[in-house]
Structure 1
Amino acid sequence: MITKIHLNFVLAGLGLFAVVAGSQAATISCTGQGYDISGNVLGASDCLILSPLSGEANDSTSPPASSYTVNTESFFGQNTWQFDGKFEVTEQTNSSSYFNFSGNGQSGGYGFTGMNNSMQFMFVLKDGNNTNLVAYLLSTPVLAGTNTYSTPFTSPPFSFSGASSSKDISRISVYYLSDPGGPSTGVPEPGTIAMLGLGLLGMGLISRHRKGGQY
């Protein structure tokens, strides 16, 4: 039988795992009861929302790339996203080298201006006020011509006070993968690593006690 002190140690470790795992951000589906914002960017093949829904996260792009929000949260299972540029909707300025944008915070259009449309691209849309980031994975190859977008910041899935049913997009950020054909580079969540470590620790303690004749 495992001694009481070792049992307490394992239980304490499990408690630490619960805290670590509970602190991790997550993503949720773009479709649910009463809402479907998966089609708000024409030409997207997948969509996710960073939770919590009222988290007001910023899609930070401060170097190095490993510290980008989209990489620390492994958007679409990848953590090697590169930042291309952004369309600041309010200021009507665009720094993307692959896409041009037009429109306003409620709706607009975009077109691919690069040469290699076989690359993997992602749009990350931000509002900020009682919402969270919404990301769209574009189809590969990127659809030709002018495609449309509309605000995903609607109620539901987000909860707005008063009579407001939608909010404006403030920014559309463009990301790409330099090696879209490579294997997924998603890294294990810290909570997963903690659980693996505890499992190995438990196996080691049991083996140690068996060798010592304690069962």
Structure 2
Amino acid sequence: MKVTQIFASALKSAPAIAGSSMLAAGVFALSAPANALTNPCSATIASKVQGTSACEFSPGESQDFLNSNPMTVNQVGFFSFTDWVFGGKSDNVNAKTGTWNISSLIQSNWGDVMLVFKAGNDPLTAYLVKDGVTSGKWDSPFPIQNNNFRDISHISVYYRPGEEGPGTEVPEPGSLAALAIAGGFIVSRGRKALKNA
């Protein structure tokens, strides 16, 4: 077979190969879980929480369920990690702006730390906390219209287990929960401070 015949034959079969590839890609996209992806936040939304280095949202999730296995934040893989551990939650925030403080909750064996903001049925929005930062200001990342933003219903803190520091005791899950209940994660709005429930 001449080179020109091989080339012509390949050109004739190219649309069928391309069509098969596109069909396979479409089937793969349809079979992948809708909530398996997160998207980077816009620069405006990313700047809403001080002391953070990255922001992602999950268009397929509006609830950060803790009773699912794996937890929602691990199902969607915020910041490409699927080993997040729940560290605490501040309920009933009901504000558009305030401050966050995890200084009395954070442990030396925590690696990455993430704050997850929730409001109504808006997509969960997560912020990766900068190393060494334990507090900062926040503004709602959930725009409504005309530069208005939705009130936050709650903010949760998650962490990834990191290297244990020298002489550091790793808290048992029960004592970690007690730490959170004792008010380790504080979110304030105006003059009222909300502690973990």
Matched, 1:72 2:75: yes
Measure, in 1, the Cα distance between the counterparts of 2:72 and 2:107: 27
Structure-2 change in CA distance of 1:29 and 1:10 (3 Å):
closer
Partner of 1:87 in structure 2? 90
Partner of 1:184 in structure 2? none
The Cα shift of 1:15 comes to: 5.0
Task: State which of 105, 118, 130 in structure 2 corresponds to 1:126.
Answer: 118
What SS class does the counterpart of residue 74 from structure 2 fall into?
helix
TM (norm. structure 1) is 0.57
Give, as a single letter, the amino acid of the residue that structure 2 aligns with 1:121.
V
**8 Å CA contact retained: 2:111, 2:159:** yes
1:1-215 alignment runs, 5 A limit: 16-21=27-32, 23-31=34-42, 36-51=44-59, 55=60, 57-62=62-67, 64=69, 67-90=70-93, 104-111=94-101, 112-113=103-104, 114-116=106-108, 119-129=111-121, 131-143=122-134, 146-155=135-144, 165-179=148-162
The Cα shift of 1:19 comes to: 1.8
Partner of 2:192 in structure 1? none
The Cα shift of 1:119 comes to: 2.9
**8 Å CA contact retained: 2:37, 2:77:** no
Measure, in 1, the Cα distance between the counterparts of 2:131 and 2:83: 17
Give, as a single letter, the amino acid of the residue that structure 1 aligns with 2:37.
A
Structure-2 change in CA distance of 1:179 and 1:170 (3 Å):
same
State the superposition RMSD in angstroms: 3.1
The Cα shift of 1:29 comes to: 2.1
**8 Å CA contact retained: 1:119, 1:141:** no
> Deviations along 1:16-36, whole A, 9 cap, x unmatched?
32421484542222116xxx1
**8 Å CA contact retained: 1:154, 1:165:** yes
Structure-2 change in CA distance of 1:29 and 1:180 (3 Å):
farther
**Runs of 4 or more above 6 Å deviation:** 9-12
Identity %: 33
Structure-2 change in CA distance of 1:25 and 1:77 (3 Å):
closer
The alignment of Structure 1 onto Structure 2 pairs a total of residues equal to 146
> Deviations along 1:64-109, whole A, 9 cap, x unmatched?
4xx111101111010000001200134xxxxxxxxxxxxx521111
